[in-house]
Each structure stands twice: as C-alpha cells, then as structure tokens.
Copies of this chain bind each other. A is one copy, B any other.
Amino acid sequence: MKKTLSAKLMTLVVMLLAQASAFADNEKYFPEVHADGSVTFTIMAPDAKKVEVWGDFAEIKLEKLDMQKDEKGLWSVTSKPLAPEMYSYRFTVDGVETLGRDNAYRVRDGARYKDMVIVSHEKGDKGWLYGVHQVKHGNVSKVWYDSPTLQRTRRMTVYTPAAYDGKRRFPVLYLLHGFGGDENAWSELGRATQILDNLIAEGKAEPMIVVMPNGNPTCDAAPGEWGAGMYQPDGNAFVNNKPRATMEESFMDIVNFVDAHYKTIRKREGRAVTGLSMGGGHTLNISLLYPTTFDYYGLMSAAPKLDNQFVTKGYAEYIHSDKTFGERVARLQASKPRLFWIGIGKEDWLLQTNNDLRHYFDEKGFPYEYYENDGGHLWRNWRIYLTLFAQKIFKP
C-alpha cells in the first residue's frame, strides 16, 4: 500500500518521538491561560493523595492552590483571574516539590528551578512586556573579559539592540543582579531582553546596550559556567572568600572593556547603572566612587551598605556619622547627575534602610526620584523597576 507523504511523515514523527521522548504526551499538561487571566494547572499523578501548586500569585508571598483529581488521575486547578505578570510555580505531590512534566518554560533562581507562565491581557501590559513578540530582537551574548583589578577572566551578558550595526554608537545601561544571582539572572529571571526589545519596539525606551556583569568578585561566572566546575550554588561565594577587590572597586574594568569592544557613547550622558538589592548597593557605591562617569543611577530595593551594619538597624547613624560617605555624597551632588532614582516595595524588608537614605538626601538637598509600590523583595518588582527606569534614561 502506497502511503501518502503526510502518512509517511507521521510514521517518522512517531518513530522519532519514541526515540527522543522529548515531547509532551498531552497538550493539557501545559498551563492553560484563559481569556480572563485565570490559569489552569494540571499534572498527572494517579496514585497521589494530595497535590498542590505553589506560585507567586499573591503580591507578597507564595500562594497555594489545592488541586482536584479526575478519574484518570489528572489533577487540576484553575486560579482566580490573574493580573498581567510573569508567574512562577511548582507542584507539590504528596509533599514532594516537583516541576511540571511538560512546561518548556522554566527559570533558575540560585540552585532552584521554577516553572513559569505569563499572563497578558493586552498589548503593552506587564505580561506583554515580558513576552516574546513579533518585534525586532536584540542579540544576547555571553562575553568573557579580563579584569586586571580582580586578576580574573570573567563573564558578562551583553544585550545589543536590534539597531546595533557596529557603526552607530549607543548608550549603555549597566544592570546589576542581587545576592545569589549571577550574569544570567537579569536575562532569565529578569526578562531584561524581552523588556528592552518590547520597550524599544514601542518607542518607549531609547535603543541601548545593556551590560549584565557578574557581581560576585570571587567568581568568574554563573555556577557551572567557569573553572570551578559544576558546584552546588549556595549564594555564599562572595562571603566565604575574600576577593582581591570589591565589585565596585573593579567596576571600571567592565566599563573599560565595554567601551573598547562595543560602539558606545563614551561620555557620562551615555552611561546608566542600576541594580537590585545587593546590586542596588553596588549602584550606590559606584555613584559615590565614580561621580562623573554615569549620568543615571537606579536603586531597586537596594541593600545600600554591603559590608557591615547594612541591615536596617544602624544605617541612619552610619550615613550621618561616616565622613567619607558625606564627602562622597557631596561630590556626587556637585556633579549633578541627570537622574538618581530609588524604587522599593511597601513590604520590602529594606524599606526602612532606603527611607534612611532618602531622609539623608532630603536633608542635604540631593534630588532624587522616588517610586514606591506594593509588594516585597521579589523579581516581580525588579522587572517593574527596570521597565520604569529604562524609559527614563538616555532621552534626547
């Protein structure tokens, strides 16, 4: 019997799938996003007694949804309608945390992976900004550079906008991760590539290069991506080893490399720096160390002092009494940066520390922009802050 071409192809498909086992058995396993923003989560577990899905569906903490089993053993639950957002979740099957079998979209946060799903209601909303659309895309590179200060060869992530052609010069945003993160954090968890692609395509942000370095000066790169091999990430790399210099002290190695290897605007008005948590602390220190190198600064849920006394208590006393700090703030103020931006959530555990910093700036008459929103010390907020900050910088 002569098979049709499509029947033959189907035979091949079946054979290949049997070989590879790489594809989904059933489309329904994938989280299904409904028109109202509710999401149906499903997982096959015929023998399980209790299945839940935990996700960051609430503003501040993880939320648990109990799932129901059907006669085939497929557990499912549909969430309430969710606002536009990128959500992450994990299943718990009889107490064991597990990822869905067939969600191809997954992100690493430190040592842990989470499944992710994006809810978007309309073009331009947060979910849309974090998605991949039919727009011109920038390139993303993992780039090794020499750091003379740290005496290491280290890795950074570099986004070049779609318009980057090796001729025209572009401004550079230096985008810093937090404690336990690495040079992959902003491009993966942070959706920085998508946010920039979409904002630039919409004409809301200027085309810019975005440099996402590794902020742990005792590491060369993300776990498993450098000579230390495939170790268990524990976030303590920079605590347990004394680096040759701090992130901030070695920061000009990064700027110099980028200026030497990319078509950049090599002036203050072509440079911005922002970071989250520990990276917000790095940003503050960078503003104080190199007051005329950057014109735009962004502190996102910043941990403004990184050595000692940097939890809430004692920070106000420190900044009011430390002579060097005062002199450096005065020097930064005199240099008149175009933007000093501070963003933090009402439930962030670093809110008081940031308030202390703002009050100090107020006393000194140092101008800054302040943005406060709901929520805590979470990626959800850092993506919002990147979206806002990116629209404020490099405007003609």
Q: Contact residues of A with B, CB < 8 Å?
A: 5, 8-9, 11-13, 15-17, 19-24, 27, 30, 43-49, 62, 93-99, 101-102, 104-106, 108-113, 118, 131-144, 153, 155, 162, 179-180, 223-227, 229-230, 232-236, 239, 277, 303, 307-311, 349, 376-378
Contact = CB atoms under 8 A, between A and B. Distances in A.
8 contacts: A15-B311, A21-B62, A23-B233, A30-B232, A93-B94, A131-B230, A137-B155, A141-B142
Nearest to A46: B95
Nearest to A75: B96
Contacts of A140: 141-142
A155 to B, nearest CB: 7
Contacts of A132: 224-227, 229-230
Contacts of A104: 108, 110-113, 223-224, 230, 232-233
B48 A96 contact: yes
A99 B118 contact: no
A96 B233 contact: no
A144 B310 CA distance: 43
A179 B16 contact: yes
A261 to B, nearest CB: 8
Contacts of A111: 22-24, 102, 104
Contacts of A142: 139-141
A13 B239 contact: yes
A81 B94 CA distance: 32
Contacts of A136: 144, 153
Contacts of A24: 111-112, 232-234
A-B pairs, top 4 by smallest CB distance, nearest first, are A22-B110, A134-B227, A98-B98, A141-B141
A224 B105 contact: yes
Given A22-B111, A47-B49, 18 more contacts: A12-B303, A16-B179, A17-B180, A17-B235, A19-B378, A20-B180, A22-B110, A23-B112, A45-B94, A93-B93, A98-B98, A99-B99, A106-B106, A131-B229, A131-B230, A132-B225, A132-B226, A133-B227
Given A229-B131, A229-B133, A96 B22 contact: no
A133 B228 CA distance: 7
Nearest to A159: B142
Given A224-B104, A229-B133, A20 B97 contact: no
Contacts of A153: 136-137
